C-alpha cells in the first residue's frame, strides 16, 4: 500500500489497489494487478501501454462495465467523488453512469446503434437520468450538443442514422453523447485509434476543448504516446496490469526512467532528428497474464534487468529518494517501479551504459521459472 503524503480530499477519483481478474478457459487472467492512482478535478491524465496491459480493463472496472460473468473485481477501491463505486448497487451505479461518469469508446463505427436515429440516441441519455425533461427540451439540448462538437447542419443530422456519417463525425456524436449531462469525468478509451490520422488531431482537440469548457476531468487511454503528448497534463505508463511509471507529461518525455517507457519513446517515429533511422521495437512479448510471476513483469524483455528484477517486485516510488509524494495534479511526483531505472544518457542511448552487467543468465531465468511454477502450484 502506498501512503500519500497529502490528504486526498480534493481528489475526483482515487483508485486503490484495484485488482481485476478474468476467468478464461486457459485459466485465471490477472488483467489488473493492484494499481493505485489518483485524479484531480479538471485534470487530464493519459494512460499508456500496449494491448493487453490492462488499461481498458481499468476503465471498464471504474465504469462498472466489466463483461460478466468473466470479469471480476478481485479487490481494491474506486473512490469517485467521495463514494466507493465498487460498493454501489447496480441501480446506483447506473445513475452515476452518463451523469457523472461518461465514456467515449474506441470504435465509433460500431458504438452507435445502426437502426435508430442520432436524435434518439442523444435524447436517450438526456432523458435516462431525468424523465421530467420533455421531448422539445431534449431536442433543443441535442441540437446544442451537436453544435458544441462541431457537427454542421445539426438539426438535419439529428434525423439521420449512424451509417450516414463518417468515422470522425460518429466520434463527434459519441463525444456529444458523453457530454450530454456535464459529467465530472470522461474516460476516452482509444478515442482516435479507429480514425484516420487527419481526423485524430481534430478529435483530440475537440475532447480537450469540451473538457476545458465543461470542466470535466479526462482519462485518455491510448497505446500511442504521440496522442497523449499534446493534450495530457500527466501520464501513467502501464505494463502487465501495473503502473510502471507516472509523471507529468513534460517530465516523462524529458526524463523517462523505466526501461519500458524508454522503449516506447524510442518506437515513435521522429521526423525532427532528420535521419532515416529504423524504428526500434521492444524485443519479446508481453508476459502470459494467466501466471503470477515473482519479480518485475518487464524483466524478461529488459536490458537493464538484474537478478533482483527476476525475483523481487519493484514498488512504484519516487525517482528521487525521500521526496514528498504528490499523487496528482501539475505538481505530481515522478514515480517509477524499477530497480535499475535508466539515466538520461541511457534513455537517449536506449541501452544500459557499458559496464552494466545484465544479469539475465540461464541460472537466474531457471530460478525465476521455478519460483513461478512453485507459486502457480500453490493452492
Please say which residue, 149 or 243, places its beta carbon nearer to another protein.
149
Half-sphere exposure of 356 (CA within 13 A, CB side): 17
d(CA 81, CA 74): 22
Q: Is 67 in the site for another protein (CB under 8 A)?
A: yes
- 113 sits near another protein (criterion: CB under 8 A): yes
Of 95, 224, 312, 313, the one binding another protein (CB under 8 A) is 95
* Candidate residues 50, 81, 124, 251; the one interacting with another protein per rule CB under 8 A: 124
218 CB neighbour count, 10 Å cutoff: 24
Q: List the one residue out of 220, 205, 203 whose CA is nearest residue 39.
A: 220
Which of residues 63 and 316 has its CB atom nearest to another protein in the complex? 63
Nearest to 328 by CA among 250, 258, 246, 256: 246
Distance CA(49)–CA(66), nearest Å, equals 19
Rank residues 116 and 353 by Cβ distance to another protein and give the closer one: 116
Q: Is 48 in the site for another protein (CB under 8 A)?
A: no
Determine, following the binding rule CB under 8 A, whether residue 164 of this chain makes contact with another protein. Answer: yes
**Pick from 23, 24, 87, 110: which binds another protein (CB under 8 A)?**
110
Our finding on whether 161 is near another protein (CB under 8 A) is yes
Structural element, H or E, at residue 21: strand 13-24
Residue 103 touching another protein (CB under 8 A):
yes
For another protein, which residue of 163, 182, 209, 277 counts as binding (CB under 8 A)?
163
CA distance 123 to 355: 64
224: Cα separation from own chain's centroid: 11
* Other C-beta atoms lying within 10 Å of the C-beta of residue 272: 4
Size of the site for another protein (CB under 8 A): 40
Which residue of 6, 81, 107, 313 would you call a contact of another protein, by CB under 8 A?
Answer: 107
Say how far apart CA 334 and CA 237 lie, in whole Å.
Answer: 12
Min separation Cβ 344 and another protein, Å: 41
Phi-psi domain of 52 (left: phi exceeds 0; alpha: psi -120 through 50; beta: other): left
Helices 167-179 and 118-128 sit at what angle, rounded to 10 degrees?
A: 20
Which DSSP letter does residue 292 get?
A: -
Of 49, 98, 263, 295, which one interacts with another protein (CB under 8 A)? 98
Q: Which residue has the cell 476516452?
A: 188
Q: Which of 73, 74, 86, 128 binds another protein (CB under 8 A)?
A: 128
Q: Which residue's CB is nearer to another protein, number 155 or number 270?
A: 155
- Kindly tell me which residue out of 23, 27, 87, 159 binds another protein, with binding defined by CB under 8 A: 159
Distance separating alpha carbons of residues 195 and 227, to the nearest angstrom = 12
Report the residue number, 187 or 240, with the smaller CB distance to another protein.
187
Which three cell numbers mark 175?
Answer: 463525444
Residue 172: is it exposed, middle or buried by C-beta count within 10 angstroms (0-12/13-18/19+)? buried
Q: Name which of 151 and 299 has its Cβ closer to another protein.
A: 151
Which of 11, 30, 141, 157 touches another protein by CB under 8 A?
A: 157
Stretch that binds another protein, among 92-100, 140-148, 274-282, 292-300 (CB under 8 A): 92-100
Residues 178 to 197 in contact with another protein, rule: CB under 8 A: 178, 180
Q: Which residues bind another protein (CB under 8 A)?
A: 63, 65, 67, 94-99, 102-103, 105-107, 110-117, 120, 124-125, 128-129, 152-153, 156-157, 159-161, 163-164, 174, 177-178, 180
Amino acid at each position: 500500500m502506498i501512503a500519500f503524503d497529502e490528504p486526498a480530499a480534493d481528489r475526483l477519483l482515487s483508485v486503490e489497489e484495484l485488482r481485476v481478474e478474468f476467468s478464461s478457459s486457459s485459466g485465471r487472467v490477472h488483467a489488473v494487478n493492484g494499481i493505485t492512482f489518483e485524479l484531480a478535478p479538471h485534470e487530464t491524465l493519459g494512460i499508456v501501454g500496449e494491448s493487453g496491459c490492462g488499461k481498458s480493463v481499468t476503465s471498464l472496472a471504474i465504469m462498472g462495465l466489466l463483461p460478466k460473468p468473466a470479469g471480476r473485481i478481485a479487490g481494491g477501491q474506486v473512490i469517485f467523488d467521495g463514494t466507493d463505486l465498487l460498493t454501489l448497487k447496480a441501480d446506483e451505479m447506473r445513475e452515476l453512469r452518463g451523469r457523472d461518469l461518461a465514456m467515449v469508446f474506441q470504435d465509433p463505427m460500431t458504438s452507435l446503434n445502426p437502426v435508430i436515429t442520432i436524435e434518439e440516441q442523444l435524447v436517450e441519455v438526456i432523458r435516462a437520468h431525468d424523465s421530467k425533461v420533455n421531448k422539445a427540451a431534449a431536442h433543443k439540448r441535442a441540437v446544442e450538443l451537436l453544435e458544441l462538437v462541431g457537427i454542421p447542419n445539426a438539426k438535419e443530422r439529428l434525423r439521420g442514422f449512424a451509417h450516414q456519417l463518417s468515422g470522425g463525425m460518429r466520434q463527434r456524436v459519441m463525444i456529444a453523447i458523453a457530454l450530454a449531462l456535464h459529467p465530472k469525468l470522461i474516460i476516452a478509451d482509444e478515442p482516435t485509434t479507429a480514425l484516420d490520422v487527419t481526423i485524430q488531431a481534430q478529435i483530440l482537440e475537440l475532447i480537450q476543448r469540451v473538457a476545458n469548457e465543461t470542466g470535466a476531468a479526462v482519462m485518455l487511454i491510448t497505446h500511442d504516446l504521440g496522442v497523449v503528448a499534446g493534450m495530457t497534463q500527466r501520464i501513467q505508463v502501464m505494463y502487465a496490469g501495473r503502473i510502471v511509471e507516472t509523471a507529468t507529461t513534460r517530465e516523462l518525455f524529458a526524463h523517462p526512467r523505466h526501461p519500458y517507457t524508454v522503449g516506447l519513446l524510442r518506437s515513435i517515429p521522429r521526423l525532427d532528428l532528420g535521419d532515416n533511422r529504423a524504428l526500434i521495437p521492444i524485443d519479446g512479448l508481453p508476459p502470459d497474464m494467466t501466471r503470477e510471476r515473482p519479480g518485475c513483469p518487464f524483466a524478461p524483455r529488459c536490458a537493464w534487468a538484474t537478478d533482483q528484477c527476476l525475483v523481487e517486485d519493484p514498488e512504484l516510488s519516487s525517482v528521487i529518494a525521500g521526496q514528498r509524494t504528490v499523487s496528482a495534479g501539475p505538481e505530481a511526483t515522478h514515480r517509477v517501479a524499477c530497480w535499475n531505472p535508466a539515466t538520461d544518457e541511457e534513455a537517449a542511448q536506449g541501452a544500459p551504459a557499458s559496464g552494466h552487467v545484465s544479469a539475465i543468465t540461464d541460472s537466474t531465468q531457471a530460478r525465476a521459472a521455478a519460483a513461478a511454477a512453485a507459486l502457480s502450484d500453490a493452492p
